[in-house]
Amino acid sequence: MKNIAVFASGRGSNYKTIQDQIKAGNIPGQVVCVISDKPTPPVFEKAEDNDIPTYYIAGKQFKEEQQYTDFLLNILDKYDTELILLAGYLKLIPSRIVERYRHAIINIHPALLPKYGGKGYYGLKVHEAVLKAGDEKSGATVHFVDEIYDNGLIIKQEEVEVKPDDTPHDLADRVLKVEHKIFPEVVKAFCEDRISITKDGVIIKDE
């Protein structure tokens, strides 16, 4: 059983999907805490429904970056965290945490990276950009986190069709269904030690 910390800024639908899969016995892990940069995000209610400890931790609460990072690391250490999941988390992870958890921080992004990634590309802004560009395909990407927004090694992607009459909300709904499919698949593979990194990229071994 891997100990999983979830970082989320909003409603936490991807967190709920992971939690549901854990409760169903499909993922050999447990969410040990949920951390947010917002004081009262909807995700906290979902976590508390499952008796998961929640923490509001934001850089502005601390005088120095080092204090902020130390506090985060202390929480992660408290729960013997082995995997960090970013489920709609909008802040850049401090470099010391990235280094400590290299290839053990996983993010879900609502586009086919490297397109429409980086600072400022989140939520409906991603889907608005896809529609504005006239792309015929979009999708979701699960990737490892490094020191740059949406830059780490891609673990898994899945495409969705962009329809001519799509609104950003229409596309967002379709992409979210893919997110809810591939994010648990990757988390399951990580918890079962089936993900390896080679010179050719990330490989997920069959079950």
With a CB cutoff of 8 Å and minimum separation 6, the contacts of 4 are 18, 29, 30, 31, 32, 81, 82, 83, 84, 85, 187, 191
190 and 106 Cβ atoms separated by less than 8 Å: yes
Distance CA 189, CA 197 (A): 13
184-to-4, 5, 12, 146 alpha-carbon distances in Å: 13, 14, 14, 20
Q: Which sign, positive or negative, has the C-alpha torsion 156, 48, 122, 86? A: negative
- Active site (catalytic) residues: 109
Peptide bond into 53 cis (omega under 30): no
Taking Cα atoms as reference points, which of 102, 97, 87 lies closest to residue 16?
87
Tokens at residue 163, please? 């329809």
Backbone angles phi, psi at 55, to 5 degrees: -140, 125
